[in-house]
């Protein structure tokens, strides 16, 4: 009995692996359950260990080649630098979250938090002091170290300069003497020419050596690692202090409750002033102020924290949402039209020219067209019902739906519609004649035929098409976001390319990996769906 339940777990796990398409982990599961250990181990070695080693070799190649290539945006980032930028970006996200909670905290909790933050600030300041003094110490020591390092080079350079000087002067006297001799007829002109040539080669050798030494000198002048590390530490602490200050600010002056209270006291004071006054003008003014203040207070009470957009998770969420919207639009258009084309040859003939002409059009062109056409629907985006509505819906309100996002989604839809459409048409038109004959013999009505026979039998191919569509959509989205400045991974890459700070290049590489990993998981998701709807023994081909 126990054996049986273990088997159930085992085959359940294997089935999950199979459906999700991670079949390379199949031997691991089998090994864990003790099935043919020798065979499984050899499989693991062949299909997991060796590929992993290969991956590490690739990373090692990257790490060793990257620093040798200098570009105008700095050197190509190494894997460790990319990991560092991931950490930096993630920290940015955490800090934004911290500020957000600070903005919303109320009451005694707020006071406690302020106290804690201030204490943290104090300790940070001490840390900073220590770091600064450490830095100055390291700076001094490294200054002398650098001087010491430079001294031999400087000496040598001076020696070469002196040599050059003596060489030049001696050559000059020699050459004038020779010239005189030639004029007197005691020497041949060739000797002078030879002497001049000799001098030139000597001089050249010396200058070359000098420039070589100068290069070494600049290299030696570079800060030692200890100094760099100390500087980084000091910077990090300073950064943290700045952040803590900002957090405190959000607990104090920028805090929502604080602002509301502030306004309320002001309003109360004004009201008190008005009630004590006897001047009707004052009373009128006070009443007006009252109304204005109430409105202001309401506004502040409803205000939300406005975070700066960060890759984690704001931009990633936004990109995924946009591609999802575009994909759904594409599927909603493609599947019915594809079915129509598959069922009816006239419909197919009608749509074929449209499909053939618009399918190869570049996403960039679609984006521009949508910006113009769809843009015309949003003359005043701030008050357009779509965006007003989207700012009240849960999940979506934080994403900041705007026209740029709509354009990107439309572009995604336009490019993703074709594979799904073509595949659906193919799926429907290639339904087995036998199944259709069954429908005829049973005299099924149109809807029974559609829902009992046509749709189920075409689903695997339709999902294969949808999978291609989602892949295309995700690729198109990144380009569309970059061009339409719709917040998301595409825009992140574009902005990084434009601003060119020292982290930009690493950020771009990071975005490349994020895009790839998300694309991979989207594809897996579609494979799972495709497998779940397919009815053959082995599932649809992956």
Site for another protein, rule CB under 8 A = 419, 422-423, 426, 432, 434-435, 437-438, 440-445, 448, 452-453, 456-457, 459, 461, 464-465, 467-468, 535-537
In angstroms, give the least distance from the CB of 436 to another protein. 10
> In this structure, are residues 206 and 163 in contact, taking their beta carbons and an 8 Å threshold?
yes
- The single residue listed with the structure tokens 């938090």 is 113
In angstroms, give the least distance from the CB of 525 to another protein. 16
List all residues 6 or more positions away from 420 whose beta carbon is below 8 Å from its beta carbon: 330, 331, 334, 335, 338, 462, 465, 466, 468, 469
N-terminal to C-terminal alpha carbon distance within the chain: 35
CB hemisphere CA count around 467 (13 angstroms): 20
Which of residues 56 and 520 has its CB atom nearest to another protein in the complex? 520
> In this structure, are residues 332 and 469 in contact, taking their beta carbons and an 8 Å threshold?
no
What's the longest Cα–Cα distance across the chain? 128
> In this structure, are residues 523 and 471 in contact, taking their beta carbons and an 8 Å threshold?
yes
In angstroms, give the least distance from the CB of 408 to another protein. 25
- DSSP H helices, 391-488, are 403-429, 433-441, 446-448, 455-484
Which of residues 239 and 437 has its CB atom nearest to another protein in the complex? 437
In angstroms, give the least distance from the CB of 452 to another protein. 6
d(CA 348, CA 326): 24
Which of residues 15 and 215 has its CB atom nearest to another protein in the complex? 15
- The string of DSSP codes covering 104-153 is H--HHHHHHHHHHHHHHHHHHHHHHHHHHHHHHHHHHHHHHHHHHHHHHH
Which of residues 406 and 422 has its CB atom nearest to another protein in the complex? 422
In angstroms, give the least distance from the CB of 474 to another protein. 17
Nearest-5° Cα angle at 9, 8 to 13? 115
Which of residues 13 and 438 has its CB atom nearest to another protein in the complex? 438
In angstroms, give the least distance from the CB of 340 to another protein. 19
Which of residues 337 and 459 has its CB atom nearest to another protein in the complex? 459
In angstroms, give the least distance from the CB of 540 to another protein. 9
Which of residues 325 and 415 has its CB atom nearest to another protein in the complex? 415
């Amino acid at each position: 009995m126990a054996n049986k339940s273990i088997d159930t777990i085992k085959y359940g796990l294997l089935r999950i692996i199979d459906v999700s398409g991670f079949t390379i982990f199949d031997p691991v599961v089998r090994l864990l359950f003790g099935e043919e250990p020798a065979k499984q181990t050899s499989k693991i070695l062949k299909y997991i260990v060796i590929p992993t080693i290969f991956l590490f070799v690739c990373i090692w190649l990257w790490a060793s080649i990257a620093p040798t290539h200098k570009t105008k945006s700095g050197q190509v980032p190494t894997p460790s630098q990319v990991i560092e930028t991931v950490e930096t970006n993630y920290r940015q996200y955490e800090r934004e979250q911290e500020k957000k909670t600070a903005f919303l905290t109320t009451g005694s909790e707020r006071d406690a938090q302020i106290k804690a933050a201030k204490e943290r600030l104090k300790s940070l300041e001490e840390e900073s002091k220590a770091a600064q003094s450490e830095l100055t110490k390291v700076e001094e020591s490294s200054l002398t170290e650098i001087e010491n390092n430079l001294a031999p080079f400087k000496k040598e350079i001076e020696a070469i300069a002196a040599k050059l000087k003596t060489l030049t002067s001696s050559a000059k006297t020699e050459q004038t003497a020779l010239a005189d001799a030639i004029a007197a007829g005691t020497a041949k002109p060739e000797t002078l020419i030879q002497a001049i040539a000799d001098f030139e080669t000597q001089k050249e050798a010396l200058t070359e050596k000098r420039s070589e030494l100068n290069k070494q000198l600049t290299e030696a002048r570079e800060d030692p690692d200890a100094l760099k590390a100390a500087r980084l530490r000091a910077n990090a602490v300073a950064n943290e202090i700045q952040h803590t200050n900002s957090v405190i600010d959000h607990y104090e002056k920028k805090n929502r409750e604080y602002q509301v209270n502030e306004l309320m006291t002001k309003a109360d004071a004004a009201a008190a002033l008005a009630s004590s006054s006897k001047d009707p003008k004052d009373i009128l003014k006070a009443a007006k102020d009252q109304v204005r203040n109430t409105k202001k207070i309401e506004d502040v009470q409803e205000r939300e924290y406005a975070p700066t957009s960060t890759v984690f998770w704001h931009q990633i969420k936004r990109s995924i949402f946009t591609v999802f919207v575009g994909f759904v639009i594409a599927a909603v258009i493609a599947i019915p039209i594809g079915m129509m084309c598959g069922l009816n040859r006239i419909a197919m003939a009608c749509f074929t020219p449209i499909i053939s002409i618009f399918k190869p059009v570049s996403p960039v062109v679609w984006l521009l067209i949508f910006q113009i056409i769809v843009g015309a629907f949003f003359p005043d985006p701030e008050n357009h019902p779509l965006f007003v509505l989207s700012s009240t819906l849960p999940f979506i309100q934080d994403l900041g739906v705007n026209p740029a996002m709509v354009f990107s989604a439309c572009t995604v839809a336009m490019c993703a519609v074709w594979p799904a459409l073509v595949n659906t048409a193919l799926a429907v038109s290639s339904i087995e004649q036998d199944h259709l004959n069954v429908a005829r013999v049973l005299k099924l009505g149109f809807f029974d035929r559609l829902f009992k026979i046509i749709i189920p039998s075409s689903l695997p191919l339709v999902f294969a098409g949808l999978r291609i569509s989602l892949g295309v959509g995700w690729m198109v989205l990144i380009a569309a976001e970059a061009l339409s400045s719709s917040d998301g991974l595409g825009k992140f890459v574009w902005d990084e390319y434009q601003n060119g700070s020292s982290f930009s290049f690493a950020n771009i590489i990071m975005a490349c990996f994020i895009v790839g990993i998300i694309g991979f998981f989207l594809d897996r998701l579609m494979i799972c769906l495709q497998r779940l709807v397919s009815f053959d023994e082995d599932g649809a081909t992956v």
